[in-house]
Structure 1
Amino acid sequence: MAMLRDWGLALGRRAGRPVARVQKDSGDPEVERIRVAAAAADWSTVRDVLEGRPESEDRTELVRAVGATAGAERWIAEVLAAEPDAPLPRLVAGFRHITWAWEARTAARATQVSRAQFEVFHARLRTAEEWLYEAAEREPGWTTPWVGLITTGRGLQVGREAARRRFEAAVRRDPHHVPVHQQRLQQVCAKWSGSHEEMHAFARASVFGAPGGTPLGQLVARAHIEHWLHLDSRAGEAHMTRPETVASLREAAEHSYRHPDFVRSGGWLEVYNTFALAFSLAGDHASARECFAATEGRVTEAPWDYVGADPVAAYKKHHAASRR
């Protein structure tokens, strides 16, 4: 799976009905603005956008958008040289090197990645770590550097204890930061260094340790989707349709998007899309329809890229199944 993806939405209409589309941003106009500026090597605009979005309002998506821009590693090097003490260029350089590292590795299974690819992957991640630690040292209150460090730590296989310390450093700064928890969930998956039991326990503790209406509710749905992916088709279907699985999804939904305090801002579409897939796989078509209706055809890249190369096609397939 491609790492550090930006989440996206777009809404079209055909004959008065929503047409599902995917676009790599959350609908925040500043994401597109910063992406255009990054592509043009316009550091002045990139800096203005980032400085205009405080850490308390989660600027992770904006930094990721710059990091995902091809060629950004060239112009950010010039900025680093020109601003040797500034934390923002280091933050951007760190995220660019993370994305650049996974571009070299690709989304292939480890057995299909060459030694040369792994060498480039690890070298770029080590460079990312240097920039991110420097950003964190210059701005101790920032959470975003730690989002990056949790990711680099997983790629570099720093070990369970070091990975745990990085997560704890992040949540000390922002206890309910969604990208931080998403990255930690990946760390405790069976496919990395954890287990199904640890993954589900982490998801539940994170969700129910947060106030009602939390967007972290999606972690429970993501955990079940990860579990499903790890199994063969028959065992995966059996897991998703277990009464216990359906009950856990409904309980998380009640504490998340069904809660009266849930706010449709930030990554709210990601919450609905993730629950839509989980409920669809679980055979709870009424709950899936509820989530699909809330999206109004607006498709986030994840979780649909888990179930097909084309997120829109996967969304449409499960949407159709939920209406039968």
Structure 2
Amino acid sequence: MLPPDAEVLLDAPDDLMGPALVEAAGGDPAPVAELLAATRRGGSWEQRDRYVRRVAAFARARPEWLDVWRARDPRDPDGLLVDAQRAVDRAWASPTRAELLREVSPLITAAARADHGDPVPWRLALDHARGARAGHTYFEELWEAAIRRAPHHHGCHVAALRYLATSWHGSHHECFDFADLAAQDAPEDSLTQTLPLRAAFGYLTDRCGPEVPRARLDAAADRAAALSARLPEGRPAPAEPRNLLTYVLVRLERWRDALEQLRLTGPYATSFPWDRDADDPLGRFLEVRQSVRVAVASGCPERGSGAPAAASGRPGSERGGRLRFGDH
């Protein structure tokens, strides 16, 4: 049983972040600051990374409270990190991205120096390097610094995978090799288990490069599904990996598996990956959800492992390790 369309929320904050953002909207940065400080003290890096991106997005639309925070305590590691994320996000949205990204480098450096054990500034530095078109040697130096702090940090691995995909467009086999190795090395409850799913998404949404065997795409989805089964049902935190897994399962025409992920997701839609296909990600999510329901109810044939790819070379097409740059 899936929740009604009217109850589905897009990019909903969790029970801790929601009230903190309400206070920030009223001009008080203290609850957000306390929440981020707790993630840093507790070494909750995945949660911290998710919170930083969420808070920075909120600050782009409502900046006054962050400006107050930064003025009160310019050296606060959490305020520095949110400010750096906001600056990078703003630069990414600009036509002069590379130039603007170079200008925000000091902010990222300050955030990294404010807490030497925090990997999240290094994830941000990896994203920044991709946008600034940094060379491979410099990127690998950043990567080594990131994994020294948190060897299995999901955000840093996603940033590295994106850099590989951007630098060698169409090199999907290399991206899968990197993602598979990282997932094999990661603990079974780590979000890095979903890195091959990211590689599958990159392949399925790219019309460039050699064909990837169907079995490899299914294995990536199966690995992510195994992690999803261990995560709490109907909660905001696992919503993004489950939305991504649903997207990939639909492209693979695995309707029943996609319906199961929609059940586990509950009322939580996320902009990514649905904004890849539509300007209205919530509308797209609801549209796909209904299509999955209909496919399952009508007994629509499913593709299994080893099934041939669609004629386009991409199934269902409709619209860790260490980086080894020398291998490419």
> Aligning the two structures, in what range does the TM-score lie when normalised by the shorter sequence?
0.7 to 0.9
Per-residue displacement from partner, 1:244-272 (whole Å, max 9, x unpaired)? 244323542465334xx556677322222
* Aligned pairs for 1:119-198 within 5 A: 121-189=97-165, 191-193=166-168, 195-198=171-174
Question: Of residues 226, 232, 239 in structure 2, which corresponds to 1:269?
Answer: 239
What amino acid does structure 2 have at the position aligned with 1:320? Q
Would you say 1:101 and 2:72 are equivalent positions? no
Matched-pair contact (CA < 8 Å) for 1:245–1:282: no
Per-residue displacement from partner, 1:289-313 (whole Å, max 9, x unpaired)? 2212211242122122222222233
Per-residue displacement from partner, 1:41-98 (whole Å, max 9, x unpaired)? 4333332222232361121222222321236666655654553443333212211101
Going from structure 1 to structure 2, the CA distance change for 1:213 and 1:33 (only over 3 Å counts) comes to same
Going from structure 1 to structure 2, the CA distance change for 1:212 and 1:78 (only over 3 Å counts) comes to closer
Would you say 1:256 and 2:227 are equivalent positions? yes
Aligned residue pair count: 288
* Aligned pairs for 1:1-324 within 5 A: 13=3, 17=4, 19=6, 21-25=8-12, 27-54=13-40, 56-58=43-45, 59-68=48-57, 69-70=59-60, 76=66, 79-80=69-70, 82-103=72-93, 105=94, 117-118=95-96, 121-189=97-165, 191-193=166-168, 195-231=171-207, 243-253=214-224, 256-258=227-229, 262=231, 267-323=237-293, 324=295
SS in 2 for 1:231: coil
Partner of 1:4: none
Pairwise CA distance, 1:160? 1.7
Per-residue displacement from partner, 1:194-218 (whole Å, max 9, x unpaired)? 5212211121111111122332232
Matched-pair contact (CA < 8 Å) for 1:213–1:255: no
Matched-pair contact (CA < 8 Å) for 1:94–1:127: no
CA distance in 2, matches of 1:28, 1:177: 21
What amino acid does structure 2 have at the position aligned with 1:53? T
What amino acid does structure 2 have at the position aligned with 1:23? L
Q: Pairwise CA RMSD of aligned residues? A: 3.1
CA distance in 1, matches of 2:75, 2:268: 41
Going from structure 1 to structure 2, the CA distance change for 1:82 and 1:314 (only over 3 Å counts) comes to closer
Per-residue displacement from partner, 1:189-244 (whole Å, max 9, x unpaired)? 1x444521221112111111112233223222221121121118xx99xx58x532
Going from structure 1 to structure 2, the CA distance change for 1:96 and 1:250 (only over 3 Å counts) comes to closer
In structure 1, the gaps of 5 or more residues are 1-11, 106-116
In structure 2, the gaps of 5 or more residues are 296-328
Going from structure 1 to structure 2, the CA distance change for 1:88 and 1:39 (only over 3 Å counts) comes to same
Matched-pair contact (CA < 8 Å) for 1:178–1:215: yes
Pairwise CA distance, 1:158? 1.2
CA distance in 1, matches of 2:31, 2:121: 21
Matched-pair contact (CA < 8 Å) for 1:125–1:156: yes
Pairwise CA distance, 1:145? 0.9
CA distance in 1, matches of 2:121, 2:164: 20
Going from structure 1 to structure 2, the CA distance change for 1:82 and 1:289 (only over 3 Å counts) comes to closer
Pairwise CA distance, 1:156? 0.8
What amino acid does structure 1 have at the position aligned with 2:228? Y
SS in 2 for 1:140: coil
TM-score (norm 1): 0.76
CA distance in 2, matches of 1:152, 1:220: 22
Q: What is the aligned-residue identity percentage?
A: 22
TM-score (norm 2): 0.75
